[in-house]
């Protein structure tokens, strides 16, 4: 193991140094290692890198869970310790930073430039669409104003026509006065009492007529069941004559 230590950042920042091999080798897997950065300094142990293998190095703030951007590649020599402090006396023993970092930066810069070009193209396309949309909005506003003006004119003409028709088609109202004498209250009450008494007498007369008919029917039934020779003096009465007529005598 090689001890890697030193003041990596001059601004005294705190965070995490993410280190992982470019490909796994004996004794070291591909998993990312997290090294605490305290006041800009680190102190850890790393396996020396074999030929063709480097350590990918990236810095993150504490609590940052986003994907790590690796900006350095370290070649760790097979020595006891390596001081990563810039300008240290043991500079010959410092890990070699390959030129791949600058290549990575160029790739990143190229990608950013491509994204910027695409964004500018999209911006121009959106600006053209926005200009067309604004023209369409102005056109629709002009059409809406014209439509509103036409609608106001039509509504005004309609109201005027309705008013003229209302004046012409006013219905003729004829007032008829009827002179109906109203009897005084006492006379009115008396008329009601007489009408009620008249109805009562009509109902009583009907009941009396029914009673007479029932009586004659009973006498007739009795005469049929027990015929008798009537006296001569009684045969001339109206009732007897009616009975004889009913009996067929």
Query: What is the CATH classification number for the domain harbouring 9?
Result: 2.60.40
Q: Mean pLDDT across the stretch 222-234?
A: 61
Domain membership flag for residue 54: yes
pLDDT in tens, 100-140: 445 666 677 777 777 888 888 888 889 889 989 999 999 99
Domain membership flag for residue 161: no
- Structural domain of residue 231, as residue ranges? 187-247
**Interior CA angle at 117 toward 115 and 122, to 5°?**
90
Pair (193, 146) in one structural domain: no
Q: Which residue has the higher pLDDT, 58 or 232?
A: 58
Pair (93, 39) in one structural domain: yes
Q: Mean pLDDT highest for which of 18-32, 158-172, 173-187?
A: 18-32
- Per-residue pLDDT at 169: 66
Domain membership flag for residue 158: no
Pair (33, 115) in one structural domain: no
Which segments of the chain does DSSP mark as H helices, in order?
100-168, 185-225, 238-247
Lowest mean pLDDT among 4-8, 28-32, 91-95, 118-122: 91-95
Domain membership flag for residue 210: yes
Q: Mean pLDDT across the stretch 146-161?
A: 88
| Total domain count, the chain | 3
Domain membership flag for residue 163: no
Give strand pairing partners of 6: 42
Pair (40, 84) in one structural domain: yes
Lowest mean pLDDT among 54-58, 123-127, 211-215: 211-215
Pair (8, 64) in one structural domain: yes
Q: Which residue has the higher pLDDT, 9 or 102?
A: 9
Pair (12, 87) in one structural domain: yes
Domain membership flag for residue 178: no
Pair (103, 87) in one structural domain: no
Mean pLDDT of the chain: 80
Pair (26, 69) in one structural domain: yes
Whether pLDDT at 88 is above 70:
no
Whether pLDDT at 98 is above 50:
no
C-alpha atoms less than 13 angstroms from C-alpha of 82 in its C-beta half-sphere = 22
Q: Mean pLDDT across the stretch 13-40?
A: 87
Question: 82: buried, middle or exposed (CB in 10 Å: 19+, 13-18, 0-12)?
Answer: buried
Q: Which residue has the higher pLDDT, 155 or 100?
A: 155
Q: Which residue has the higher pLDDT, 186 or 103?
A: 186
Domain membership flag for residue 160: no
Pair (90, 8) in one structural domain: yes
Pair (32, 120) in one structural domain: no
Pair (69, 35) in one structural domain: yes
- Per-residue pLDDT at 91: 41
Q: Which residue has the higher pLDDT, 204 or 168?
A: 204
Q: Mean pLDDT across the stretch 218-230?
A: 71
Tokens standing for 64? 């940052």
Pair (13, 76) in one structural domain: yes
Domain membership flag for residue 80: yes
């Amino acid at each position: 193991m090689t001890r890697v230590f030193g003041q990596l950042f001059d601004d005294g920042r705190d965070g995490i140094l993410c280190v992982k091999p470019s490909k796994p080798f004996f004794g070291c897997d591909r998993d990312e290692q997290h090294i605490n950065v305290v006041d800009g300094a680190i102190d850890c142990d790393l396996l020396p890198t074999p030929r063709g293998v480097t350590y990918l190095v990236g810095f993150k703030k504490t609590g940052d869970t986003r994907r790590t951007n690796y900006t350095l590649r370290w070649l760790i020599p097979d020595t006891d310790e390596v001081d990563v402090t810039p300008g240290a006396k043991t500079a010959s023993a410092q890990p070699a930073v390959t030129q791949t970092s600058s290549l990575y930066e160029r790739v990143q810069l190229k990608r950013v430039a491509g994204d910027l070009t695409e964004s500018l193209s999209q911006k121009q396309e959106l600006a053209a669409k926005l200009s067309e949309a604004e023209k369409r909005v102005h056109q629709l506003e002009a059409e809406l104003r014209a439509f509103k003006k036409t609608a106001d004119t039509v509504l005004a003409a309609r109201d005027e026509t309705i008013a003229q028709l209302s004046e012409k088609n006013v219905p003729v109202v004829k007032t008829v006065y009827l002179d109906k004498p109203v009897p005084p209250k006492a006379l009115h009450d008396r008329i009601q009492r007489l009408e009620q008494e008249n109805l009562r007498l009509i109902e009583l007369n009907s009941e009396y007529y029914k009673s007479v008919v029932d009586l004659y029917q009973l006498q007739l039934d009795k005469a049929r069941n027990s015929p008798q020779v009537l006296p001569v003096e009684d045969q001339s009465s109206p009732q007897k004559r009616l009975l004889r007529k009913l009996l067929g005598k």
